[in-house]
Structure 1
Amino acid sequence: MTCTLKTILLLLLALVPAVTQAQHKAVSTGPVPSWLVPWQPNLQQKPNAKHISDGFYLLLAETQYHAELKSDYHHYVRQIVSEAGIQNGSEISVDYDPQYEKLTFHRIVIKRDGREINRLAGASFKVLQQEEELSRFIYSGTYTAWLILEDVRKGDQIEYSYSLTGVNPIFDNKIDEEYYQVTAAPVVNFYRNIIARPGRQLHFKAFNHAALPQQRSWNGLTVYEWHNINLQDTDNFSHLPSWYNPFARLQASEYNSWQEIAQWAQRINTIAPPGNAVKSKIAALKQQAGNSKEAYLQAALRFVQDDIRYMGIEMGEYSHRPNTPDKVLAQRFGDCKDKSLLLCTLLNGNGISAHMAYVNTDLKEAVSQRLPSPTSFNHAIVCATPGSKTYWLDATLSYQRGALADFCEPDFQLALVITDTTTQLTPIPKKKNGHIVIRETLTLPEEERKDGSLLASTTWYREDADAQRAAMASASLKDKEATFLTFYRKFYGEMALKDSLQLHDDADSNIFRIRENYVIRHLWKKDSASRKLLFSIIAQSPSDILPYVTDENRQVPLAIKYPFDQDYQIIVNTPIEWSLDEKPLHIKNDYYQFDFTATRTGKQIVLSYVLKTFRDHVPPSFMPQYAREVKEIQKTTSLDLTLKPALLQPAGQPAGNGNWLAIVLAICAAAVFAYLGAQYYKHSVLPVQHPLEPLPIGGWLALLAIGLVFSPMSDVLVLCEAKVFNYETWTGISARRDMGNITLVQLFLIGDMIIRVFLLCYSVLLAVLFFNKRDTFPFALATYYFINTLYLFFFHRIYGYYFGESTQGNFLDPDSIVWPLLRMALWVPYLLMSPRAKATFIMPHPALLRDR
């Protein structure tokens, strides 16, 4: 059983008396209130059928609030239209707080076929404790009265009404409400009002084009009325700032100013003279800190943060009224207001000016757009001034470390400081931020089957160190290792921890470090198209900080993480030197800054990323530029490296063995091509001329003669280098499973060998034709060059496809396709147009001369 679960169970046991008392306050029944403002709905109306969901709709929704009687009346009629409505609309539930509210049901009927079936009599309500915030260690004492209706049928109307009487006494019976004027499901007849005496000064503020109330007098009272509610789809946008609310709503408040809220807060947060236990703690802290006010402040803060656990029992008026510091110190737990008041008491006990301050962790500076109201805030902190410097302290933080001067201000932006001189909200300037430094070192193996490694070192500073320290304390080291390993496996596949996580916490400097060491299995991946070995360096995506957007015309703000400051490098140790042509990227605007550079030194590549944010959102007007820049940023987060693989050599096979099958095939092919060459030699293309006196070989033909002499020698060397003659290569290909159809690969190698034998025999034939001045030589030479060009063109591409490496370099390579093209462009026109060539190659086959 975890400590958290134990704490919750102990809390529930401590609250058994209060729970038992609340359960004895059963749901009551009674007549409809007599004070209701008359209203005549049109129950014959129907909504647009396409808007109906869950199988039912609200034919009527009525809410009337009598502020003087502290009574809130609700009246609803549900129309069941399908079987789904029977499932989804046959339950009635009402939330209430029995500490100050009384729940009374007036009417529950089912209307069917023109008759009413009374379900209020004998209704068996289940009163359930609904503590949705218990996981956050907050107990509010709210309950839900729940009734499951029996025998509900398609076409039924379910009508029910109830009243909640009573208000939280902490608010002095002042009106402070917020009404939404939108609904996700159809409401055919809608009515809401506030009934108050004329002396109440109500203020209204509309948001997103909400309607202000109609006002009239009735029975000596003022009635504020609304008759319409708009059907609106739920907001489908993601990554909305916490302070942004797109829905039409209206705030009604009886408070006049923030000064009035501060005065109200002073009354309920009075710093009373400390009791003996608090006095003793103040004395102990003074002794610990000596004469240093800042040391005392830090010691008191550390005590309240670490030794007073977070737990809130916020029932009734204690939703906003804190417990006394002596009680909090004795029980050693409290919520934000309890802990803040205790901290203020400790600080003021040593002459340090400290006041509670209200903030809204979601609305932040947008709280200023609301009407003054106690419910505009959801958190309490402390504003302390030991001398000339102001510190904003959150007593609910855990594991906050470091020197007081290095504390980062919380990003709450605005606060209502609880003093007798406060008239406005006070800004909380953000002067210091955290910082994150990440170094990932990848070492790539030089061979396909060897493992790579990843060494990751992350360092957090200031508030980021606090957050990471708390996160590491909330889970076991084993769980964190599994989480971190899963994170990197998304990038690099099969991995394993080489060493346990190494943690180093420098609490005095507030620096927290984690070192991770992994083995990457099968780092090199085979590309199915090129057969090259591939590895993709993948950077941690900035999408958690700068979310990717698909709609550059987005008309709502986009939340980005703030504050954020990260220095991130990937260092890659490579087995060979890679060329690197990654362009740097530098972006800076009012909302964020991104810098990317890629450098190479020898066999080491360094990818550097710097990302900072300056605001917590991007406005709609900037969205087109943001969308473009995020796309550019995403392009820098990966780099593909390729390595030419060596052919696999099966174990136990000695080097140098020949493939005798290929050798025999080559000899047979040579015999066939020699025979065909001899047959071709007998062929003539010119008629026999007399006298047959060819010119001697000279001039430019002498250069051609040298080439034809050495060409067979070169072809022999090329033929001997064919992979098919190497036994290890042949069997290695047979063992590979990453090259597709192995038979096709072997046929390609055999075909390549046969073509090389053909070209060798052809080059010998050309030499014989040349020196015998045969008339068929010019055509045979042109054909040879053409065949050689086609061979080189297709061979390079097929070879690269199967073996992941190109055999063709630049044009200076003897294997380049450029050379046969140049030779063909030079010699073929010369043989066709040169008078000397025409007078040289005129000899027919000797057999033709004998026939003459």
Structure 2
Amino acid sequence: MKLSPFFGTMLILLLASLHTIAAIPTLTKSAVPNWIRASQQKPVPPNLEDISEGYYFERIEYQVNLATQTRFFKNIKVLTENAGAENAGQIHLSFNPQYQTLVLHELYLLREGERIDRLKIGKFELMPYETELSRSIYNGSYAAYLLLEDLRKDDKIILSYSVKGANPVFAGKFFDTFYLQGFEPVGQVLVNYVVPKDRKLQFKGFLGAPAAQQQDLGSAISYYWDVTDESKADYEPNTPFWYATRQRVECSEFSKWSDVGKWASDVNPIPTLQSSGKLSRFADQLWQKSTGDSMTYAQLAADFVQNDIRYMGIEVGEYSHRANSPEKVFAQRYGDCKDKSVLLAALLKHKGILSELILAHSTEDYGRENYLPAPSAFNHMVLYFRIDGRGQYIDPTITNQGGPFRDRYFPFYGKVLPATAGAKLRDTEKIVAGNTRIEERFYLNKDGAATVDVVTIYTGPNADNIRSYFKQNAKNQIEKSYLNYYQKLYKQASKRAALTYEDDLANNIFRVREFYTVKQLTERDPSSNRLAVSAYATNLSSSIPEALESRLSPIALQYPLTLEHDVYLINPDDVDVPPMQENSFIDRESYYFGKNIKTDNDTLKISFRLGFHDSYVKANQVANYISDFGQKNEYFSAAVFLDDDGFITGSNTHDSTNYWSIFAFVGLLALFAVVAFRYYNSTAASSLIWLYEEPRHDSIGGWLALLAIGLFFSPIRVFFTAMLPFAFNAQVWSNLTAGNNGLPAFYMPVFLLEFAANTFIIFLSGYCCYLLMKKRDIFPQTVFFLMLFQLAAVVFDAIAANVLFNGQAEFQADPTEIVRSIIFAAIWTSYIFKSTRVKGTFVLKYGETLRPVNFHHDAPWDNETVAQETEIEKAEDQGKE
């Protein structure tokens, strides 16, 4: 902790004590009030396996009497373990002495049936209990502390007390919220509201909370819940604040939202500045500086309130919701959200600019319309003003905002409520603004070292935030934290030059530049023992909340968020990096992310992207989220392998030949030839395609000539388009074996399968040419199989590319190639089955030679049939079949 903020806080507390010097808190003791409802049920013992603190609540009571402004509390704790005494034995009862008094009723132990009284007021310590100091808010709360002595396993601690009084700022209207469930099991919960009959209190339950039971008490009605369900709510981290995770009950005397708006306007009207005061003169100076332009004046006033009035609230008593006068805030130069908003509204009003105070909630951006109307639905105040017919929201608590005033960022607060009579809930806009872009350039050295240059560019609200960070922290500390980040990733990283930054306030762009040296960037990959360089985008992966597969609730996201992280790995000596490419991108309803790898001369660029469209992931989309980010650390990182000489793998093998793949190609051709000529070549033709019993043609003519040409050029085309540039390329094999390019795990077996398939197509095409020249009877069935195999190979390639690369366009098969293959196979297989030339040409069995053509040999041909066949064959010879 820094000394100056610490002493500053102490000074503020000292000054704030002046507000409460007349309200010295005291404790009193009395019997349990006679209006308290007694439970008619017995608590249900919980499952001790669910107890995590060494104790549980056997009973929790909360009862409210609206007429006497009294809240009664009672709880019974049961120690299941001796260790439970550490937590259960600490008692602290909070109240606000500005308008409340604390009355103790009971404090005793039950031990083996014996009652042991522990209620001694003198042993309680009273001290300030500030629950909002982390937000720079002092509210004047106190707490009575007591540490119980001599607690043992199985003891029961019974405590009851009342807090009397209500904050006068609410003008006697009551509203409240109480939870019927906890994250630990409770044996019984009793909630009771005693409401005078002349007052109307609305109730609403959430997450299946039961409706209230009622009892007529004569002058009042008792609305109560007496619940003995020991079930507990399951806690899931990173759940949106607005999402109901436990059964709760709300009640309110505000019948509609317009009542809340009227209350807010009555408590905080926009005042008129004192005509001769210092603030009025200051406003006139701003007006002169703006040369009478309303928009310029509004910007000057907003800049002053945002940046020169520091955020600090003394919210004692009714000032929890009532703003201090603008003159007071101007003089003391500090205030909370309502102080700053009322001050800005008063400055605008002084020059005739219309504005409205707006009630908002800083952490709950959804679900406001489901709440009962009440001031507790909001915890923040902002401003809406209108100039020249155009309205604009502004949050006076945000500091150091840059860029054009009309484009100044305003957070998404969901539904808000104007502090005016007749107000209705209105929506605020989700503005996708701001971006953080990191560019890391690693200049690789042959010895494994690297120099690193980093530039981070912040825009929009991201620039606002980093600007405030730099103004509120020492540059040396910032520089040290930045260096620590890289030293965690690369142990031998050191600062090469001082950090620098540039603030373009007019365009709201903030740039930070860092310079490092890493003595040993490369590491040995344990699985392959090869040199590798790792690139990380931890700022992206750390922005993704964790979630278990069993999760049922929505996931809260940091909205708005747009992150870009580009890593440039630059080869030594300007040596080109071989072509590599990967592009994956997924866009969901509430988020998107992507990864891209490509090369540019001597540079390998790895780009990571992450952004959120909304502030949460819906419950029905959690399964996609878990699937997408189950391996987020692996996705937002990359390992690039290097050759032993320090270059990115493949840099020295680009356009060179892999001779092992050539040996494998030749070996496969030889294997296919041996198998074909030993086991298939001597077989007889099957009945798949019916052939004539004797040859009817002694030459290859008609459409057969085209088929022969196609079979001749087919292996040549496959060799030059698939084998030579890919299968025989040393760089391709280097990437496959090294793991660069982010290739999927199953790409290697698929690549090997396609290598074998293309080799087989080359062999089979050549073999079909051989059978065609020999006019073998097995040629038609063999070429038919070749057509089907080629078609299957094209379809397989298309499916594999889609599965392995998630539909990335650059890896997809050409649709025209698939269509061409289908048409080609359909035409030629149909021809093979129907052509009489095919039937009369390929009739020679294994070992036979060509015999003279004889139309009448062993076949009862008549003159008409012979004539028909002759005409058909002539048509084929003329290419008109």
Instruction: Please indicate, yes or no, whether the TM-score normalized by the shorter chain is above 0.5.
Output: yes
Alignment of 1:453-852 (within 5 A): 453-527=451-525, 530-540=528-538, 542-547=540-545, 549-551=547-549, 554-575=551-572, 576-630=575-629, 636-645=635-644
Partner of 2:434: 434
| 536-545 vs 307-316, which moves further | 536-545
The alignment partner of 1:127 has SS state of strand
Partner of 2:369: 368
> Do the aligned partners of 1:258 and 1:373 also contact (CA within 8 Å) in 2?
yes
The alpha-carbon deviation at position 19 of structure 1 amounts to 5.0
The alignment partner of 1:584 has SS state of strand
- The CA deviation string for residues 391-432 of structure 1, in whole angstroms up to 9 with x for no partner, is 11111111112221221222112211122342x111111345
| Partner Cα separation in structure 1 for residue 121 and residue 379 of structure 2 | 41
User: Does 2:400 align with 1:399?
Assistant: yes
> Do the aligned partners of 2:581 and 2:599 also contact (CA within 8 Å) in 1?
no
- The CA deviation string for residues 336-390 of structure 1, in whole angstroms up to 9 with x for no partner, is 0001000000011111111110101111132222111101101100001112221
Alignment of 1:239-278 (within 5 A): 239-275=238-274, 276-278=277-279
**Structure 1 residues 624 and 35, CA, compared in 2 at 3 Å: closer, same or farther?**
closer
| Partner Cα separation in structure 1 for residue 431 and residue 522 of structure 2 | 46
Instruction: Give the AA of the match of 2:291.
Output: G
- The CA deviation string for residues 748-795 of structure 1, in whole angstroms up to 9 with x for no partner, is xxxxxxxxxxxxxxxxxxxxxxxxxxxxxxxxxxxxxxxxxxxxxxxx
| Partner Cα separation in structure 1 for residue 343 and residue 6 of structure 2 | 26
The alignment partner of 1:199 has SS state of coil
> Do the aligned partners of 1:355 and 1:417 also contact (CA within 8 Å) in 2?
yes
The alignment partner of 2:227 has SS state of coil
| Partner Cα separation in structure 2 for residue 455 and residue 610 of structure 1 | 20
| Partner Cα separation in structure 1 for residue 273 and residue 290 of structure 2 | 20
> Do the aligned partners of 1:41 and 1:60 also contact (CA within 8 Å) in 2?
no
| Partner Cα separation in structure 2 for residue 496 and residue 360 of structure 1 | 44
Partner of 2:165: 166
Partner of 1:213: 212
The alignment partner of 2:465 has SS state of helix
| 435-444 vs 346-355, which moves further | 435-444
User: Does 2:4 align with 1:3?
Assistant: yes
| Partner Cα separation in structure 2 for residue 452 and residue 241 of structure 1 | 43
**Structure 1 residues 634 and 284, CA, compared in 2 at 3 Å: closer, same or farther?**
same
Identity %: 29
| Partner Cα separation in structure 2 for residue 246 and residue 516 of structure 1 | 44
Partner of 1:54: 53
| Partner Cα separation in structure 2 for residue 137 and residue 457 of structure 1 | 33
Instruction: Give the AA of the match of 2:507.
Output: S
**Structure 1 residues 339 and 526, CA, compared in 2 at 3 Å: closer, same or farther?**
same
> Do the aligned partners of 1:101 and 1:165 also contact (CA within 8 Å) in 2?
yes
Partner of 2:34: 34
Partner of 2:145: 146
The alpha-carbon deviation at position 160 of structure 1 amounts to 2.6
Instruction: Give the AA of the match of 1:307.
Output: D
Give the number of equivalent residue pairs: 644
Partner of 1:792: none
Over aligned residue pairs, what C-alpha RMSD do you find?
Answer: 2.5
| Partner Cα separation in structure 2 for residue 61 and residue 549 of structure 1 | 32
The alignment partner of 2:507 has SS state of coil
The alpha-carbon deviation at position 505 of structure 1 amounts to 0.7
The alpha-carbon deviation at position 527 of structure 1 amounts to 3.9
User: Does 2:76 align with 1:83?
Assistant: no
Work out which of the residue numbers 434, 446, 450 in structure 2 matches 1:452: 450
Instruction: Give the AA of the match of 2:425.
Output: L
Partner of 2:67: 68
Instruction: Give the AA of the match of 2:258.
Output: Q
User: Does 2:342 align with 1:345?
Assistant: no
**Structure 1 residues 59 and 644, CA, compared in 2 at 3 Å: closer, same or farther?**
closer
**Structure 1 residues 545 and 111, CA, compared in 2 at 3 Å: closer, same or farther?**
closer
The alpha-carbon deviation at position 162 of structure 1 amounts to 1.4
Partner of 2:108: 109
User: Does 2:197 align with 1:202?
Assistant: no
**Structure 1 residues 204 and 433, CA, compared in 2 at 3 Å: closer, same or farther?**
same
> Do the aligned partners of 2:580 and 2:599 also contact (CA within 8 Å) in 1?
no
The alignment partner of 2:367 has SS state of helix
| Partner Cα separation in structure 1 for residue 320 and residue 387 of structure 2 | 30
**Structure 1 residues 582 and 348, CA, compared in 2 at 3 Å: closer, same or farther?**
same
Partner of 1:692: none
The alpha-carbon deviation at position 621 of structure 1 amounts to 1.9
Please, which runs of 5 or more residues in structure 1 have no aligned partner? Answer: 648-799, 802-852
Partner of 2:773: none
| 74-83 vs 208-217, which moves further | 74-83
| 235-244 vs 476-485, which moves further | 235-244
The alpha-carbon deviation at position 334 of structure 1 amounts to 0.7
| Partner Cα separation in structure 2 for residue 306 and residue 144 of structure 1 | 34
| Partner Cα separation in structure 2 for residue 626 and residue 577 of structure 1 | 38
Q: Tell me the TM-score normalized by structure 1.
A: 0.72
> Do the aligned partners of 1:183 and 1:231 also contact (CA within 8 Å) in 2?
no
**Structure 1 residues 197 and 540, CA, compared in 2 at 3 Å: closer, same or farther?**
same
Partner of 2:716: none
> Do the aligned partners of 2:70 and 2:165 also contact (CA within 8 Å) in 1?
yes
| Partner Cα separation in structure 2 for residue 161 and residue 589 of structure 1 | 52
| 50-59 vs 284-293, which moves further | 50-59
Partner of 1:414: 415
Partner of 1:666: none
The alpha-carbon deviation at position 498 of structure 1 amounts to 0.7
The alignment partner of 2:200 has SS state of coil
| 347-356 vs 268-277, which moves further | 268-277
Instruction: Give the AA of the match of 1:329.
Output: F
The alpha-carbon deviation at position 248 of structure 1 amounts to 1.1
**Structure 1 residues 170 and 616, CA, compared in 2 at 3 Å: closer, same or farther?**
same
Partner of 2:384: 383
The structure that has the greater radius of gyration is 1
The alpha-carbon deviation at position 598 of structure 1 amounts to 1.9
| Partner Cα separation in structure 1 for residue 53 and residue 531 of structure 2 | 55
| Partner Cα separation in structure 1 for residue 77 and residue 527 of structure 2 | 63
**Structure 1 residues 133 and 229, CA, compared in 2 at 3 Å: closer, same or farther?**
farther
**Structure 1 residues 486 and 170, CA, compared in 2 at 3 Å: closer, same or farther?**
same
- The CA deviation string for residues 624-677 of structure 1, in whole angstroms up to 9 with x for no partner, is 333333358765533333333369xxxxxxxxxxxxxxxxxxxxxxxxxxxxxx
The alpha-carbon deviation at position 125 of structure 1 amounts to 1.1
- The CA deviation string for residues 17-41 of structure 1, in whole angstroms up to 9 with x for no partner, is 445544x431111222222234445
| Partner Cα separation in structure 2 for residue 556 and residue 47 of structure 1 | 25
The alpha-carbon deviation at position 229 of structure 1 amounts to 5.3
The alpha-carbon deviation at position 519 of structure 1 amounts to 0.5
**Structure 1 residues 286 and 232, CA, compared in 2 at 3 Å: closer, same or farther?**
farther
